[in-house]
Amino acid sequence: MTRELHHDSAQCAYPGEGNLVAGSSIALEPRRPRWLRLVAIAAITAVTGVVVFAGYWAIRLITNVDSFDLSAGGHRSEVTADDRTDRLQFLVLGSDTRSGPNSDHGSEDDSEGYGQSDVMMLVDISEDNTDVNVLSFPRDLLVDIPPCTDMQSGQHFDARSDAMINSAMRDAGPGCAVDTVNALTGLEVDHFMLADFHAVTELSNAVGGVEVCVTKAIDEPKSGLKLPAGTSSVQGEQALAFLRARAAFGDGGDLGRIQAQQAFLGSLARKMNDEGTLRNPQRVLAIADAVTRNLTVDKGLASVPALVTIADRLKDIDPADVKFISVPTAPAADPNRLVLDGVSAPQLFSALRASADLTAPASASASVGDTEDDLPDVEERAPRGATDSVIASAPVTLADGTAGGDVPPMLVETLRDAGFDGTQYLPAPSTPITAIYYSAGFADTATTVAATLGIPITTLAADDSIYGVQVYLGMDARGGVETLNSRDMTAAIDQTADQVSCQDTNPFG
User: What is the pLDDT averaged over residues 115-142?
Assistant: 94
Q: Give the CA angle between residues 184, 165, 491 to the nearest 5°.
A: 60
Residue where a domain stops, chosen among 322, 354, 386: 354
Q: Does residue 249 sit in the same domain as residue 183?
A: yes
| Segments forming the whole domain that contains residue 233 | 66-354
Tabulate helix, strand, coil % of the chain (nearest 5): 40, 20, 40
Cβ contact 401:472 at 8 Å: yes
Q: What is the CATH number of the domain that holds 472?
A: 3.30.70.2390
Cβ contact 378:365 at 8 Å: no
Q: Does residue 312 sit in the same domain as residue 413?
A: no
pLDDT 10s digits, 187-230: 999 999 999 888 888 888 888 899 999 999 999 988 899 999 99
pLDDT at 167: 95
pLDDT at 457: 74
Q: For 174, what's the count of Cα atoms within 13 Å in the CB-facing half-sphere?
A: 31
pLDDT 10s digits, 361-379: 555 443 333 333 444 333 3
Q: Does residue 84 sit in the same domain as residue 212?
A: yes
pLDDT at 159: 95
Buried b (16+ CB within 10 A) or exposed e, 356-366: bbbeeebbebb
pLDDT at 242: 93
Q: In the predicted model, is pLDDT for residue 19 greater than 80?
A: no
pLDDT at 398: 95
Q: Does residue 289 sit in the same domain as residue 379?
A: no
pLDDT at 487: 57
Q: Does residue 406 sit in the same domain as residue 329?
A: no
DSSP secondary structure letter of residue 89: E
Helix, strand or coil, per DSSP, at residue 498: coil
Strands 148-149 and 338-340: unpaired
**Total domains, the chain:** 2
pLDDT 10s digits, 398-437: 999 988 878 888 899 999 999 999 899 999 988 877 889 9
pLDDT 10s digits, 24-42: 444 445 565 665 555 555 5
Q: Does residue 346 sit in the same domain as residue 393?
A: no
Q: In the predicted model, is pLDDT for residue 305 greater than 90?
A: no
Q: In the predicted model, is pLDDT for residue 2 greater than 50?
A: no
Q: In the predicted model, is pLDDT for residue 134 greater than 90?
A: yes
Buried b (16+ CB within 10 A) or exposed e, 132-171: bbbbbbbbbbbbebbebbbbeeeeebeebeebbbbbbbbb
User: What is the pLDDT averaged over residues 2-18?
Assistant: 45
Q: Does residue 104 sit in the same domain as residue 244?
A: yes
User: What is the pLDDT averaged over residues 46-50?
Assistant: 45
Q: Does residue 318 sit in the same domain as residue 191?
A: yes
Q: Is residue 469 assigned to a domain?
A: yes
pLDDT-derived band of residue 132, with 50, 70 and 90 as boundaries?
A: very high
Longest dimension (CA), the chain: 143
Q: Is residue 248 assigned to a domain?
A: yes
User: What is the pLDDT averaged over residues 67-86?
Assistant: 90
User: What is the pLDDT averaged over residues 154-162?
Assistant: 95
Q: In the predicted model, is pLDDT for residue 8 greater than 50?
A: no
pLDDT-derived band of residue 251, with 50, 70 and 90 as boundaries?
A: confident
User: What is the pLDDT averaged over residues 240-258?
Assistant: 88
pLDDT at 54: 43
pLDDT at 508: 66
How many C-beta atoms surround the C-beta of residue 494 within 10 A? 18
Q: Is residue 495 assigned to a domain?
A: no
Q: Is residue 389 assigned to a domain?
A: yes
Q: Is residue 30 assigned to a domain?
A: no
pLDDT at 24: 46
pLDDT at 263: 94
Cβ contact 267:253 at 8 Å: no
User: What is the pLDDT averaged over residues 85-103?
Assistant: 77
pLDDT at 96: 82
Q: Give the CA angle between residues 315, 317, 322 to the nearest 5°.
A: 130
pLDDT at 486: 61
pLDDT at 98: 45
Helix, strand or coil, per DSSP, at residue 130: coil
Residue where a domain stops, chosen among 325, 354, 383: 354
Q: What is the CATH number of the domain that holds 281?
A: 3.40.630.190
Highest mean pLDDT (candidates 244-258, 317-331, 449-463)? 317-331
CA distances from 172 to 117, 151, 154, 469 (A): 13, 7, 9, 35
How many C-beta atoms surround the C-beta of residue 355 within 10 A? 18
User: What is the pLDDT averaged over residues 388-403?
Assistant: 85
pTM for this entry: 0.69
Q: Does residue 134 sit in the same domain as residue 84?
A: yes
Q: In the predicted model, is pLDDT for residue 55 greater than 80?
A: no
Q: What percent of the chain has pLDDT over 90?
A: 41
Cβ contact 62:304 at 8 Å: yes
In sequence order, what are the beta bridge partners of 399?
Answer: 426, 472
Q: Is residue 27 assigned to a domain?
A: no
Q: Does residue 315 sit in the same domain as residue 192?
A: yes
Q: In the predicted model, is pLDDT for residue 104 greater than 60?
A: no
Q: Does residue 238 sit in the same domain as residue 331?
A: yes
Interatomic CA distance for residues 39 and 17, integer angstroms: 40
Q: In the predicted model, is pLDDT for residue 161 greater than 90?
A: yes
pLDDT at 413: 92
How many C-beta atoms surround the C-beta of residue 332 within 10 A? 15
pLDDT at 392: 79
pLDDT at 49: 43
User: What is the pLDDT averaged over residues 136-149?
Assistant: 95
Q: Which has the higher per-residue pLDDT, 5 or 73?
A: 73
Cβ contact 327:138 at 8 Å: yes
Phi, psi of 427 (to 5 degrees): -65, 140
Q: Is residue 425 assigned to a domain?
A: yes
Q: Does residue 274 sit in the same domain as residue 300?
A: yes
Q: In the predicted model, is pLDDT for residue 324 greater than 70?
A: yes
Q: Is residue 32 assigned to a domain?
A: no
Q: Name the nearest CA neighbour of 263 among 274, 277, 249.
A: 249
Mean pLDDT, the chain, as a whole number?
A: 80
pLDDT at 43: 58
Buried b (16+ CB within 10 A) or exposed e, 69-102: bbbbbbeeeeeebebeeebbbbbbbbbbbbeeeb
Any residues with CB less than 8 A from the CB of 450 and at least 6 apart, and which?
Answer: 365, 366, 436, 456, 457, 459, 460
Weakest mean pLDDT among 125-134, 276-285, 395-404: 276-285
Helix, strand or coil, per DSSP, at residue 214: strand
Cβ contact 212:263 at 8 Å: yes
Q: Which has the higher per-residue pLDDT, 138 or 486?
A: 138
Interatomic CA distance for residues 103 and 96, integer angstroms: 10
